[in-house]
Chains A and B, each alone.
Chain A
Amino acid sequence: MRSLFDRMLIDPFNRLADQSAHVVPILIMVLVTLIIGGFLAFVARWLTYRLLQAARFDRLVQRTGFSSMIERTGVFRSPSDLGARFVQALVWLFVILFALTAADTPATAGLVLRFVEYIPNMIAAGLVLLLGAVVSRMIARSALLAAVNAQWPAARLIAGGVRILVMTLAVVIALEQLHIGSLPLLVAFAIVFAGIVFALAIAFGLGARDMARQWLEAKVRHSVAEEEVFRHL
């Protein structure tokens, strides 16, 4: 007959020891994985930075005009720094996934599976955002040049508006890819945008009707007059 002492103290302690014997190696392994992974991530960042510097990546990106945008964030020193930190983040992601897999519990296994299944959506969203950034920049620049060459005073405002519009659409599509509720954002955007256009139309139509007429008349007369008197070729 086992004593009360054994049942109250020794047995729980043994059970704890058994469970600890199962968990502690896993925890140690996760910890070691994270330490080594962290070191690897740091090395990957350092190597990537050196490689990008050697390849004059900063100069290449400078041509696309993204350099100033990256530097303006105040987080990254240069495009090479951004690239290196991105690689570091990727390595960290894989290390964490590896560590979770090593834990080998139903909860972590489910988490890893869901995360792996989610990766294509993340890639698609990332690509959409990247494409949106490039396209919005190109379209905004085209709008800016067209507005400047037409001598519209609010050229930069127009270009900025175009850029925000295109980028918002890209964000909505990216959120859609990530299965994050994008409908409220889209609706909010549509309401605000339509509201702005409507307000401008009313303001221009009521408040500046005469100015609009005069401006159009002057524009038509002016362009005809200029065509008639001046040839460039």
Chain B
Amino acid sequence: MDELFPNELKARLEQIREADIVVGIPSYNNARTIGHVVRAVSVGLAKYFPANRSVIVNSDGGSKDKTQDVVMQAESGADDLLLVSHPVHGSYRISTPYHGVPGKGSAFRTIFAVAHHLKAKACVVVDSDLRSITPGWIELLARPVLEHGYDYIAPYYHRHKYDGTITNGIIYPMTRTLYGKSVRQPIGGEFGFSGSLAGRYLEKDVWDTDVARFGIDIWMTVTAIAEGFRVGQAYLGAKLHDAKDPGADLTSMFRQVVGSFFRLMESYEGIWKSVNSFEQVPMFGFPFEVGVEPLTVNTDRMIQAAQQGVADLREIYSSFLSPQTLVDLTTYVHRNGQGFHIPDRLWVRMIYEAAIAFRYRTLDRDHLLQSLVPLYLGRTASFVLEVTESNASQVEERIEQLGQVFESEKSYLAQRWDAARKENLHAQPV
């Protein structure tokens, strides 16, 4: 793993030698916000883990806005606090460029390698554009790992009802259905995990795939669940982050996240086929009501995108959607205004049929994922129109209902998956 480290980092790690906690912050041009994140992390480590050796690692993707300087110069913030216990060791701070494919996953890989090298007992990763992070987040993400024997802690936030639509519409209900653990924010971005799990991540040969980009979050979560690591979640309040997310255009983000999820279905086929129910994951922290930032969504534009997609991409859809699904899609998608609606069952079947097509390469995988974007926008518009008047708990119930449809249709997925495998075997050239 040492080949991932520049010489300067190697020398620094030799000085530090060992650490109990490593906190990783991936960044790319986040000078505006990363200072706050570093201060919150420093205070969190000083306040909650004064007796532990800790290291803050900023893994940077070549920022041009002096992000790395901001990280190194940010005040620790701990001097202004009245601490019951003063830090015995203090926390080290490292800012290093990462190697490999530019993306969040590659930045995480360097953080995993640092944690592994320093034999860290717990590792925490947090986004560099967070505005709502508090020192308490570090405790909530690290303590279950350090003191309660957990291997993976996912975040749990309150979010606006229109926020996190890939999570709510695909990733959360599908993770729950396929892998049997109800992790509400599987691609939340902030995680705590054990040193042994970091080591396991490093063993995987995925760093040239979309896991090196936005696929990292779902890959970490599913790997932890599917490989039997002990999983929990921590209540962090609200997640507010910087409005601008560099390089985060919808098509590539969607492709990377959903593509990684579909690829994991291939890797863990035996696991998800054997799961018949799901269980709640233990929650750390004290849930409380928080206000969230208002969001506005242009549903007309999304509906237009879906309608154009169904009109222009019909040939592509007919290559992987079943005839009945295609007929239903065409029927529903051409209703305008408030009448526009994509029912849960249709949505779930489209996603399942796409997963099967991805597995058996019915068409080019990249094209398949890109073709799902208009459908996703249509489904998002449908969801937004449906919950316009709903409050947070009603929206949560609605998402639970969708999860139940994913579960009830799982037999459809398994049956078609096996049928596609048989067809695929027979279709091999003689």
Contacts and interface: CB of A to CB of B under 8 A. Distances in A.
Interface of A: 51, 54-57, 59-60, 62-63, 65, 68, 138, 141-142, 144-146, 148-149, 151, 153, 155-156, 226-233
Given A55-B429, A56-B427, A63 B319 contact: yes
A233 B251 contact: no
Contacts of A228: 243-244
27 contacts: A51-B430, A62-B319, A63-B361, A63-B363, A65-B319, A138-B364, A141-B364, A141-B367, A144-B312, A145-B370, A149-B250, A149-B251, A149-B305, A151-B304, A153-B308, A227-B243, A227-B244, A227-B248, A230-B295, A230-B296, A230-B297, A232-B164, A232-B165, A232-B250, A233-B167, A233-B253, A233-B257
A68 B245 CA distance: 42
A232 B383 CA distance: 13
A232 B315 contact: no
Interface residues of B, number: 48
A54 B426 CA distance: 9
A201 B391 CA distance: 51
Contacts of A231: 163-164, 241, 245
B189 A233 contact: yes
A156 to B, nearest CB: 5
Interface string B249-263: 011011001000000
Given A63-B362, A227-B245, A233-B257, A155 B295 contact: no
A149 B166 contact: no
A126 to B, nearest CB: 20
A13 B241 CA distance: 106
Given A231-B241, A232-B253, 18 more contacts: A55-B427, A55-B430, A60-B429, A63-B361, A65-B315, A68-B315, A141-B364, A144-B312, A144-B313, A146-B370, A148-B309, A155-B312, A226-B298, A228-B244, A230-B162, A231-B164, A233-B164, A233-B253
B373 interface: yes
A231 B248 CA distance: 9
Nearest to B169: A232
B308 A151 contact: yes
B316 interface: yes
Nearest to A159: B312
Interface in B122-162: 162
Contacts of A151: 301, 304-305, 308
Given A232-B250, A233-B167, A148 B374 contact: yes
B423 interface: yes
A59 B297 contact: no
A206 to B, nearest CB: 28
A145 B367 contact: yes
B308 A155 contact: yes
A233 B430 contact: no
A60 B426 CA distance: 10
Contacts of A142: 367
A149 B373 contact: yes
Nearest to A56: B427
A12 to B, nearest CB: 62
Nearest to A156: B312
B316 A141 contact: yes
B315 A149 contact: no
Contact of B313 (A59, A63, A148): A148
A194 to B, nearest CB: 28
Contacts of B166: 232-233
